[in-house]
Structure 1
Amino acid sequence: MARRNLFQPPAPPGPADEVATGDLKPRFPNTGAMSGVKSTLKDLSSNAVREIPVDLIEEDGPKDRLSFSDADIASLAESIKQHGQQVPIMVRPLADKPGRYKIVYGRRRLRALQTIGMTARALVRTLSDEEAILAQGQENSHRLDPSFIEKALFAAQLSDNGYDQPVILDALAIDKPMLSRMTKVARTVPEAVIMMIGSAHGVGRRRWEELADRVKVSSADLVQVVSNLNLDKVPTSDDRFARVSDAISEIGKSANITKSEAHVIVSSDGKTLAEVKDTPRALTVKLSKADTPEFTQWMRDNAEVELKRLYEAWKSGQKSG
């Protein structure tokens, strides 16, 4: 059954500040920590918005967006200068720092207000860590459109900070299989590489998973490889992703070629005895009938005896070692 958005600010958002939430329906269950949030904020519409100096608001905590571009912040700041801050941010008091607050949601608005020196219109709520994360997640599910990798990093941060899985699932409105996929990508692709790529809104889960699979089998210093790609000159994060993906793919191809190159064994009289090829599936020894036909015939007749002898010699060496 549809439920009202617990975090919808009392002042209707204007077109000049940010995109309105409209009639989007929240997807969070009315259980667990969300019940506490509902109880705390049940009369939200009747509570006044407060004016708080921006230097009293701290921004630490799990971030749901990779970055804000300077142009994006400048555009929003100009809009706020002209039309005012239409949509309040949400903060919670810091118990160990009286008079100071911690951002719950509205980081982009806060950054824009900081650039122009305006006080922030804010909803002040006393929330637990879990309630604050759920509030942040629900607000972003309505107001923002986080990319797959932004949500994956957010989920990883929540896990690292000790949040239980049900809280993470509710905060991101996802199921366990999707959380597993997000975690796989966030844990496999170096965060430094992700930060250099950016949010990549046009890149979905499948392509990020493919990149993670290629990263997993690569032994190269990926951060150094990506640093050499001059990504700062690539205009969009989707294009940066493509360049990184191509580079890591080439590393994988080179590694496979190296592994598949044959090692040639030459006798003391200069004859090619065999080629040894190491592949992911097998070690292959190929004898040359052209260069040493008699030895090849002898090896075929004595292969079982000789291989068993070599195996026993190897076992003996293992024991003595």
Structure 2
Amino acid sequence: MARKHLLSDLAGPKSNEQGQSDPFSRDSAAPQYAPRGAIGAVSRSIELLKSQSLTELDPDLIDAPAVIDRLDEDGEQFEEFARNIRENGQQVPILVRPHPTVEGRYQIAYGRRRLKAVKAAGLQIKAAVRSLSDDELVLAQGQENSARQDLSFIERALYAAELEAKGFQRSVIMAALAVDKSNLSRLIQAATQLPADIIRLIGAAPKTGRDRWGELATRLEKQDAITTARETLADDTVKPLPSDERFARVFEAVAPKKVKKEKAQAEVWQADDGVKAASFRQDKRTLTLMIDKKAAPEFGDYLMSVLPEIYASFKKTKR
């Protein structure tokens, strides 16, 4: 008997007609390149959703999931997307499940941008409604993201950390994000080192990678750095900037202050005859001697001529 794959219920009722195979059965013929396991099942399920009947729902009846996979994008990017929805309509349905705790409401699996844009346009949202467990919802989010533009580094990190905080098994998180154990650990560590509110205020920052976020975490460990970061992000001139630029402003604002080394004051050397022939300045590494050619015009040349003799005499004292 074929084992039932994860999310096989997304395909709807199976046909009992003889000779028609179960698309999620292990015995079914499948292309060699088809993804296997849970992710493969989700992939095939979502493809089937595209060919199945949809329903139209009131956007106000749809709630966000417990863990959101994407940060809010920059205003201009969303406005362009919303304009396309208004002019051309909703081309791709969203996936929702009946709300697990509230009768008559739904919870979105993926399509938050589409939902927001359709809601702003005052339209009904085209949706596929399927019964999904929490794990299945997370896997569906991951598969949908892998089919579109990748999540930015910090979105992946924050999503992974919040899933773990909600009690999801790491095996489920790894499948949703298509990462191995070590990379998942790095993602979670990156997110937990940074205050969540600062991450959200900065945004997705798609051009900013792991190393820069890691350096920001280090800089925020300094005294008052977190307060400085929040004040920077609250500035009305910073808020409208694209997320990568907001990151850059914060990164610069909490940079270690360069301490200017104070130069040692020059001391004047005065000869027995009262002539101030030279001045000198010294620190731990150097001693700088400056001859005043106006006060002692020929002293500098003389000093350079006897310098080998002076140095040789110095060496003798060391013996």
Fold equivalence (TM over 0.5):
yes
- For the structure 1 residues 116 and 42, does the alpha-carbon distance in structure 2 shift closer, same or farther, using more than 3 Å as the test? closer
Q: Secondary structure at the match of 2:220?
A: helix
Match of 1:249 among 216, 241, 255: 255
Deviations 1:240-271 (A, max 9, x none): 222222232326x67xx9xxxxxxxxxxxxxx
**Equivalent residue for 1:62?**
67
User: Structure 1-normalised TM-score?
Assistant: 0.63
1:36–1:131 CA contact under 8 A, matched in 2:
no
**Equivalent residue for 1:180?**
185
CA-CA distance at 1:45 after TM superposition? 4.7
In structure 2, what residue type is equivalent to 1:149? I
Whole-angstrom distance in 2 between the partners of 1:201 and 1:45: 29
The sequence identity of aligned pairs, in percent, is 43
2:74–2:243 CA contact under 8 A, matched in 1:
no
CA-CA distance at 1:225 after TM superposition? 0.8
| Equivalent residues in 2 for 1:123-138, closer than 5 Å | 123-138=128-143
Match of 1:228 among 211, 226, 231: 231
1:86 aligns with 2:94: no
User: Structure 2-normalised TM-score?
Assistant: 0.64
Q: Secondary structure at the match of 1:123?
A: strand
CA-CA distance at 1:61 after TM superposition? 2.0
Moved more, 205-214 or 83-92: 205-214
Deviations 1:249-308 (A, max 9, x none): 326x67xx9xxxxxxxxxxxxxxxxxxxxxxxxxxxxxxxxxxxxxxxxxxxxxxxxxxx
Match of 1:122 among 127, 149, 155: 127
- For the structure 1 residues 150 and 35, does the alpha-carbon distance in structure 2 shift closer, same or farther, using more than 3 Å as the test? closer
**Equivalent residue for 1:50?**
55
Judging by fraction of residues, say which structure has more helix: 1
Whole-angstrom distance in 2 between the partners of 1:76 and 1:55: 20
- For the structure 1 residues 42 and 225, does the alpha-carbon distance in structure 2 shift closer, same or farther, using more than 3 Å as the test? closer
- For the structure 1 residues 240 and 78, does the alpha-carbon distance in structure 2 shift closer, same or farther, using more than 3 Å as the test? closer
Query: Which has more radius of gyration?
Result: 2
Whole-angstrom distance in 2 between the partners of 1:211 and 1:38: 36
**Equivalent residue for 1:314?**
none
Whole-angstrom distance in 2 between the partners of 1:51 and 1:122: 6
Whole-angstrom distance in 2 between the partners of 1:151 and 1:236: 19
Q: Secondary structure at the match of 1:71?
A: helix
| Equivalent residues in 2 for 1:276-295, closer than 5 Å | none
**Equivalent residue for 2:245?**
239
Whole-angstrom distance in 2 between the partners of 1:42 and 1:147: 25
Matched positions, count: 230
1:28–1:170 CA contact under 8 A, matched in 2:
no
